[in-house]
Amino acid sequence: MVLLTLPPTSLLIAAGALSVGGIALYKSRSNCMGPMGSRAFNGPFRPIELPLVSITEETHDTRRLVFSLPPGTKSTGLSLASFVIATPTIPGGKRSIRPYTPISDLSDPTKIEFLIKEMPNGYVSKYMTNLKPGDKVPFRGGISSFSWKQNNFRSITLLGAGSGITPLYQLATGILRDDNDTTKIKLVYGNKTPMDIPLKSELDQLKKKFPDRFDVEYFVSKDAEKVPNARPGQIDAAYLQKEIPGPQDDTCVFVSGPPPFVDSVCGGKRGPFFQGNLTGHLKDLGYSKSQVYKF
């Protein structure tokens, strides 16, 4: 997802702009929290401040942050393929907004977890990954970036790189938790080195637990031989043409990752909230814009 830096007065404008881009918003008036706080998140216009419970290292430059939801919460209020917006005030008075996709079970009413990569020049990510338990961060949401429908596809392909794994992981785990959803999932996940693969143990466990519903294949640019069955190099057109379902009505490809990766696979998004034109490998392989979704 794209880093957004806006002055405080632009925050609500940015949230409202999401609806222009065709992204479904949870209307705050219709989802107001009850006296005991039945829903944690109530739309982009209703901020909620959450305390950090724990922060742990995932890889050398990613951290897992767990925040506690308010007492009395009965549901997160989030749907599959949704994200929330953090609105921290960085020391010095700089207000920023940053979208984050939860990796925790969206049905858990007690906590919410994020995987955050510390970017070299990312002052928001550095702020977030240096928080201490007890520190509080305001969030807004949820915002549904894709309306998932049970068994709408026979199979889906998830193409990811680096920290772009978060929306793909959320989508995959949400589908797999639903015993009535028979959608088959293949994740193709690229990283620089074996030490740069976040959520690898969880992904391997999903493959072991759901062998008929979930498959994952890793691409590693350096030292691929250290990852069992990983392919060396990067995800390319030749692999996609041979190993994933072709452009059919009963399948869809979801793409998430750094801009260079997304550009090569399917073309970049036109701003943070617009899909943009379909180009790249998937266009060359005959996919249509309706068969590809960019997180």
**Residue 31: CB partners within 8 Å, gap ≥ 6?**
39, 42, 43, 77
Pairing of strands 231-232, 292-294: unpaired
Torsion of CA 208, 188, 203, 101, to 10 degrees: -150
∠ CA 170-173-177, rounded to 5°: 135
**Which of 48-57, 136-145, 159-168 is least confident?**
136-145
* Separation of alpha carbons 81 and 85, rounded Å: 14
- pTM (two decimals): 0.87
* pLDDT given for residue 247 in this prediction: 93
On whether 62 is known to bind a ligand per the annotation, the reply is: no
Q: What backbone phi and psi angles, to 5 degrees, belong to 91? A: -45, 130
Does the pLDDT value for residue 34 go beyond 80? Answer: no
The pLDDT-based confidence of 45 (bands split at 50, 70, 90) is: confident
pLDDT above 90: percentage of residues in the chain: 76
| Mean pLDDT score across all residues of the chain | 88
Specify whether the backbone of 201 is left (phi greater than 0), alpha (psi in -120 to 50) or beta.
Answer: alpha
Read off the pLDDT of each residue in 215-227 and give the average, rounded to a whole number.
Answer: 96
Three-state DSSP string of the chain? CCCECCCHHHHHHHHHHHHHCCCEECCCCCCCCCCCCCECCCEEEEEEEEEEEEEEEEECCEEEEEEECCCCCCECCCCCCEEEEECCEECCCEECEEEECECCCCCCCCEEEEEEECCCCCHHHHHHHCCCCCCEEEEEEEEECCCCCCCCCCEEEEEEEHHHHHHHHHHHHHHHHCCCCCCEEEEEEEECCHHHCCCHHHHHHHHHHCCCCEEEEEEECCCHHHCCCCEECCCCHHHHHHHCCCCCCCEEEEEECCHHHHHHHCCCCCCCCCCCCCCHHHHHCCCCHHHEEEC
Does the pLDDT value for residue 259 go beyond 60? Answer: yes
* pLDDT given for residue 20 in this prediction: 35
The pLDDT-based confidence of 109 (bands split at 50, 70, 90) is: very high
- For each of the domains in the chain, give its residue range(s) and CATH number, in order of start: 8-144 (2.40.30.10), 155-294 (3.40.50.80)
On whether 289 is known to bind a ligand per the annotation, the reply is: no
* Separation of alpha carbons 129 and 46, rounded Å: 24
Does the pLDDT value for residue 52 go beyond 90? Answer: yes
On whether 154 is known to bind a ligand per the annotation, the reply is: no
On whether 288 is known to bind a ligand per the annotation, the reply is: no
On whether 91 is known to bind a ligand per the annotation, the reply is: no
* pLDDT given for residue 94 in this prediction: 76
Q: What backbone phi and psi angles, to 5 degrees, belong to 182? A: -100, 10
On whether 99 is known to bind a ligand per the annotation, the reply is: yes
On whether 132 is known to bind a ligand per the annotation, the reply is: no
On whether 201 is known to bind a ligand per the annotation, the reply is: no
